[in-house]
């Protein structure tokens, strides 16, 4: 494996996850053993030294471990975007920093994306047996039903952090705070196909969620209308081919 030319970049947006991140990185390393990969941790203005945990691993010889830092917290969506543009791999995998997403599913996400050909833009995880609080599960269920009805994005669970996306697709998606919850609709808008993989959820080991239910609920209504508008405003995705001289 060459750390200079990774095929896979695993992007972890996180805020104050120093206790969880080192365990998660060990799991990612084990899951991707034998593959060319890097892990890009985006420290979203943490105060607990999350980024320093990653730096120490890099300095100890784990050159697949990289970290970038926001000077102040900009939110999960912004952290994902920072990771997307810092990553060097052709396939970008996102995973939450709290450890609830299981990295054991990353190889299958990647393999499905590669097997699907250039037309397949994303393979997204869909959680089963969720371990979140009852309030979070109900809020998520309602949001997913409303989103599905409006956007027709063929996705049961848009909030799962585990996703594998082609880098060239990820980087052309329109950005706004909250975009990571509408990835399926945005990928479809660019003319690509999507696929899904059922994954299991795990309890958080340490700490508490930094992004609240009501933040998502109140802002999510405007985001949903915005994505609905974006999809309606793109009627045709052009199929581009080079013009060559006639023989």
Task: For residue range 67-88, list pLDDT tens digits in order.
Answer: 999 999 999 999 999 999 999 9
- Residues 127-178 have pLDDT tens digits of 987 665 666 666 666 676 777 677 778 788 888 999 999 999 999 999 998 8
pLDDT at position 38 over 80: yes
State how far the Cα of 18 lies from the Cα of 98, in Å rounded to an integer.
9
DSSP 60-106: TT-TTEEEEEESS---HHHHHHHHHHH---SEEEE--TTS-B-GGGH
* Residue 234: half-sphere exposure toward Cβ, Cα within 13 Å: 16
At residue 165, φ and ψ (nearest 5 deg) are -135, 140
Residues 6 or more apart whose CB falls under 8 angstroms from that of 182 comprise 147, 151, 153, 158, 223, 224, 227
Domain 8-232: give its CATH code: 3.90.550.10
- Residues 86-99 have pLDDT tens digits of 999 999 999 999 99
pLDDT for position 214? 46
pLDDT at position 216 over 80: no
**Cβ 124 vs Cβ 183: under 8 Å:** yes
**What is the rounded average pLDDT of the residues 30-39?**
96
For the entire predicted model, the pTM comes to 0.85
Q: How far is CA 242 from CA 10, 93, 123, 236, 245, in A?
A: 33, 31, 29, 19, 10
Closest CA relative to residue 8, chosen from 35, 48, 43: 35
Query: Please, what is the Cα angle at 162 between 159 and 163, to 5 degrees?
Result: 95
Lowest average pLDDT, out of 1-15, 44-58, 126-140, 177-191, goes to 126-140
At residue 61, φ and ψ (nearest 5 deg) are 110, -5
State how far the Cα of 117 lies from the Cα of 153, in Å rounded to an integer.
20
State how far the Cα of 130 lies from the Cα of 203, in Å rounded to an integer.
8
pLDDT at position 1 over 60: no
């Amino acid at each position: 494996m060459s750390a200079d030319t990774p095929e896979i970049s695993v992007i972890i947006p996180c805020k104050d996850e120093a206790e969880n991140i080192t365990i998660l990185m060990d799991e990612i390393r084990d899951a991707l053993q034998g593959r060319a990969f890097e892990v890009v941790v985006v420290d979203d203005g943490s105060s607990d030294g999350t980024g320093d945990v990653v730096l120490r691993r890099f300095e100890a010889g784990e050159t697949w471990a990289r970290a970038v830092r926001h000077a102040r917290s900009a939110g999960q969506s912004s952290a994902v975007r920072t990771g997307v543009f810092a990553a060097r791999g052709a396939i970008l995998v996102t995973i939450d920093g709290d450890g609830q997403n299981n990295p054991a599913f990353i190889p299958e996400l990647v393999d499905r994306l590669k097997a699907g050909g250039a037309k397949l833009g994303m393979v997204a995880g869909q959680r089963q047996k969720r371990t979140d609080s009852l309030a979070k599960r109900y809020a998520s269920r309602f949001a997913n039903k409303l989103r599905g009805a409006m956007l027709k994005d063929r996705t049961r669970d848009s909030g799962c952090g585990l996703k594998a996306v082609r880098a060239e697709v990820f980087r052309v998606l329109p950005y706004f705070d909250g975009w990571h919850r509408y990835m399926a609709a945005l990928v479809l808008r660019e003319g690509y196909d999507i696929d899904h993989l059922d994954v299991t959820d795990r309890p958080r080991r340490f700490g508490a969620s930094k992004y609240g239910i009501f933040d998502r609920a109140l802002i999510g209504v405007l985001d949903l209308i915005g994505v609905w508008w974006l999809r309606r405003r793109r009627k045709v995705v052009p199929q581009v081919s080079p013009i060559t001289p006639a023989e």
